[in-house]
Amino acid sequence: MDRELNGAMRSVSINSAQLNGHNNGGGLDETDRVGVAQGAALSATEKLTTTTAAATKSTTAATNATTATTTNLATHSPQQIALLSAAEKSKMVHELCQQLLLTDEQVEELCYRILHELRRGLAKDTHPKANVKCFVTYVQDLPNGNERGKFLALDLGGTNFRVLLIHLQENNDFQMESRIYAIPQHIMIGSGTQLFDHIAECLSNFMAEHNVYKERLPLGFTFSFPLRQLGLTKGLLETWTKGFNCAGVVNEDVVQLLKDAIARRGDVQIDVCAILNDTTGTLMSCAWKNHNCKIGLIVGTGANACYMERVEEAELFAAEDPRKKHVLINTEWGAFGDNGALDFVRTEFDRDIDVHSINPGKQTFEKMISGMYMGELVRLVLVKMTQAGILFNGQDSEVLNTRGLFFTKYVSEIEADEPGNFTNCRLVLEELGLTNATDGDCANVRYICECVSKRAAHLVSAGIATLINKMDEPTVTVGVDGSVYRFHPKFHNLMVEKISQLIKPGITFDLMLSEDGSGRGAALVAAVACREDILNGKK
């Protein structure tokens, strides 16, 4: 057994036992218990005891801090609290936010649990019940820089739907034209037929506007939802995420639905060469320039990562070419925690978000991280503190009390203020109808934003460090995209710091911002898929 495999298996055994210890069996299935029975090594058990004890201690500390605040809130009326000094209010804010801070032990514990879940997704026996599905993408080749040609790309699954025309040229050069189309709310939760008809219509309009209406071009479809892929051009939707819920698509082949919609129109012709996740596109677009790029990460509306795995680890992949040693895995780690594995760090605010979401009980990890939820998390903390009289003298506003109206971009804006300066913060508060904020209020609002975004960065870092340690390569570049990573002023640095703490000694890594992975990456996957054809002059 090789070193990495041995190490990883030990971690899994440790982890299985830990999970059972924490949950008393709640939410876990038979496979976890089998894991415990197999977890034998003494050193592993010792480590288990230490880590579990540490994690329990830190959880207890956080609970105590919350209880202390609750006692204060319970014994003082909002009017009394409003009269406290700025320092006392700030102390209460810090105490209540304690539950949002992850201790080093908790982050370490998370790494073990994520590894355990990844392994469950990869293994044939455990895959059906796994939360982190680790879907095979069928991508085995990274771009080599020789990809050329004109491609169409569709990008569905972020904030916007886009159609793109990409011309890959020599010397890592490319031209790209794109157009954003709105997906109205009624289509996001309407029927699948409506959705795909809308996509086909946008594609046809785009092709007409860009003078390629009569051409038959290869197309890469970035479809950023959990997809059970059966090949590079076939994938069944597992479940919708991020506010989409179109009827009749789950368990259907999304490529076929697209082709059907195009055929119903009968006006344009395309070759769907690949369907891919946005994490795959991100990885591919970075790998085009940097051959060490082996992980793709999105921290945007949703959160997810993909990575290059050794073929023998991906038990669901029926390899066809023995010369190819790796395959790209779409982890779909947004669903991590759906079985209770994150309960030891979830807060009342996370539970509130979940209960009021379109998909309760699903995408637990994603709901603690991504842009679709980050602003709302902050809003919930603000509401609680305002109602308690700690913030804004207890005076709220209609906007503050309305779900979804504290946008995630506000978090980035507030944290972009220089220390001690609250210019952006005041602008945001004004938009919320909160005009009587003191400097103390602003400092507290900023602190709340920092706690929520730092927790998100640390959760993502735990995931990335786990992947880096699992891959066990000397150098890894992580291709990253998504609005939170791109626009939050500290997310990158928070991640670099935390990942450095968590990876094995001797491994180096860097985070590379992807240039439009969902668009260019889609063209690259399509291009790599037909690279041989292009080189042979068949296309």
Of these residues, 242, 294, 362, 384, which one is catalytic? 242
Are 365 and 354 in contact by the 8 Å Cβ rule? The answer is no
Is 150 catalytic? The answer is no
Q: Does the protein bind ligand BGC through residue 224 (CB under 6 A)?
A: yes
Contact range with ligand BGC by CB under 6 A, out of 57-65, 107-115, 221-229, 417-425: 221-229
Q: Which of 220, 235, 300, 375 binds ligand BGC (CB under 6 A)?
A: 300
Helix, strand or coil, per DSSP, at residue 77: coil
Nearer to ligand BGC, 160 or 194 (CB): 160
55 contacts 344 by C-beta, under 8 angstroms: yes
Dist CA 362 CA 349 (whole Å): 15
* CA distance readout (Å), 411 to 89, 139, 144, 424: 21, 36, 39, 10
Binding of ligand BGC by 226 (CB under 6 A): yes
> Is 242 a binder of ligand BGC (CB under 6 A)?
yes
Q: Does 517 bind ligand BGC (CB under 6 A)?
A: no
Rounded Cα–Cα distance for residues 251 and 260 (Å): 16
Instruction: Find the shortest distance in angstroms from Cβ 481 to ligand BGC.
Output: 9
* Total chain residues near ligand BGC (CB under 6 A): 18
Residue with smaller CB distance to ligand BGC, 51 or 233: 233
For ligand BGC, the closer of residues 34 and 182 by Cβ is 182
Question: Could you give the 3-state DSSP secondary structure of residue 162?
Answer: strand
For ligand BGC, the binding residue among 121, 149, 235, 334 (CB under 6 A) is 334
Q: How far is the CB of 130 from ligand BGC (least distance, A)?
A: 15
Q: Do residues 312 and 322 touch, judged by C-beta distance below 8 A?
A: no
Out of 157, 220, 337, 463, the only residue in the binding site for ligand BGC (CB under 6 A) is 157
Per CB under 6 A, 366 contacts ligand BGC? yes
Q: For residue 455, give Cα distances in angstroms to 41, 68, 144, 336, 450.
A: 33, 21, 37, 16, 8
Nearer to ligand BGC, 149 or 302 (CB): 302
Select from 137, 241, 461, 514 the one that contacts ligand BGC (CB under 6 A): 241
Show Cβ contacts of residue 500 under 8 Å, excluding neighbours closer than 6 positions.
none
Report DSSP state, residue 191: B
For ligand BGC, the binding residue among 13, 279, 347, 461 (CB under 6 A) is: 279
The catalytic residue among 197, 278, 417, 516 is 278
**278 assigned to active site:** yes
Q: What is the DSSP string of 398-426?
A: TTTTSTT-S-HHHHHHHHHSPTT--HHHH
Exposure pattern of 343-381 as b/e (b: 16+ CB <10 Å)? Answer: bbbbbebbebbbeebebeebbbbbbbbbbbbbbbbbbbb
298 sits near ligand BGC (criterion: CB under 6 A): yes
- Positions touching ligand BGC (CB under 6 A) are 157-158, 224-226, 241-242, 277-279, 298, 300-302, 304, 332, 334, 366
List residues with catalytic annotation: 242, 278
